[in-house]
Structure 1
Amino acid sequence: MSKPVEIPFETTILVRDTCLCLHVQRAARALARRFDEALRPLGLTNGQFSLLMSLNRPHPPAIGSVASLLAMDRTTLTAALKPLERRELLTIAPDPKDKRSRLLSLTADGKALLAQAVPIWKREHAIVDTLLGPDGSERLRNDLRQIA
């Protein structure tokens, strides 16, 4: 039998304190919980809000375009669309120019729900902006864009 490899506890501390992936994941979870809680009275999660907002365009986007914007694979996006479609907040229709493609549109109910959600999102975002200090949100967005 081979001798088990021991990783020094100091390495665990180093990773805990310096791992960018860990810190971004923790911050993302905290932000998601904050916005999930704020949007809960509307029956939305932060992910559903982002998905619906991504459909608020002058022309219905194709599934691939939305998946790219949200950094999701098409299968995951399709699964995320189903509950919103059941709630009649969006429609999925064939593209008249390419029957293989599907276009996504907000319904009147979807637009009305977004209209209720935007002030909640703005309020929560203002709190986060305050927590991050002057120019903190913009710096963070720019830094995250560099990584993405």
Structure 2
Amino acid sequence: MERATDLAECRNCLCLAARSAARRITAVYDRELRPHGLRATQFTILTMLMMRGQTTVGALAKSLGMDRTTLTRNAALIAAKGWIAVTADGGDARLHVLSITPAGEALAREAFPAWRRAQERVSTAFGPVGVAALHRLSDARMT
């Protein structure tokens, strides 16, 4: 017997809840980072390059769980501000390598306390169990 269609169930859609939560979380980080002229995604790219060193667009996109074209677009904006350098790999002109500049590193270090404030606010809102669940979900494969 087929279950009756009750669209009221959609009010509890986990996809919608996750997307809404992601937007709100991002807004917390963006508010804290705004005085430094940064958005959360830009700060993440800068700090990842600081930790990893020069990295190809493809490798960085994979580690960030981001589409290559989205990262390429973000990298171009950051490069225009002088915070990263984008160079072609000598062997393949289609392969672009990203590296942080001294100005980008200085900015990321200056903005780090703002990022930490956002991290603490979001962690407090989620609580330890929520933070652990969020990390589990970000690592999980649901396909």
User: SS at 2:50's partner residue?
Assistant: coil
1:23 equivalent to 2:17? Answer yes
Residues 78 and 143 of structure 1, relative CA distance in 2, 3 Å threshold = closer
User: In 2, Cα distance between the equivalents of 1:134 and 1:73?
Assistant: 30
**Is 2:32–2:117's contact at 8 Å kept on the other side of the alignment?**
no
Find the counterpart in structure 1 of residue 111 from structure 2.
Answer: 117
Counterpart of 2:92?
99
Matched residue, 1:138: 132
4+ residue stretches of structure 1 with deviation over 4 A?
A: none
- In structure 1, runs of 5+ residues without a counterpart are 1-7
Aligned-residue CA RMSD in angstroms?
Answer: 2.0
Q: TM-score, normalised by structure 2?
A: 0.86
Q: Supply the distance in 2 between the matched residues of 1:112 and 1:143 (Cα, whole angstroms).
A: 32
Unpaired runs of 5+ residues, structure 2, are none
Partner Cα distance (1:126, 1:145) in 2: 21
Q: Does 1 or 2 have the higher relative contact order (CA < 8 Å, sep 6+)? A: 2
Letter in 1 for 2:10: V
Cross-structure match for 1:5: none
Return the offset for 1:57. 3.1
Q: TM-score, normalised by structure 1?
A: 0.83
Pair member with larger Rg? 1
CA distance in 1: counterparts of 2:96 and 2:40, whole angstroms: 24
Q: Which residue of 2 aligns with 1:37?
A: 31
- From 116, 123, 133, give the equivalent of 1:129: 123
Shift, 1:147, TM fit: 4.3
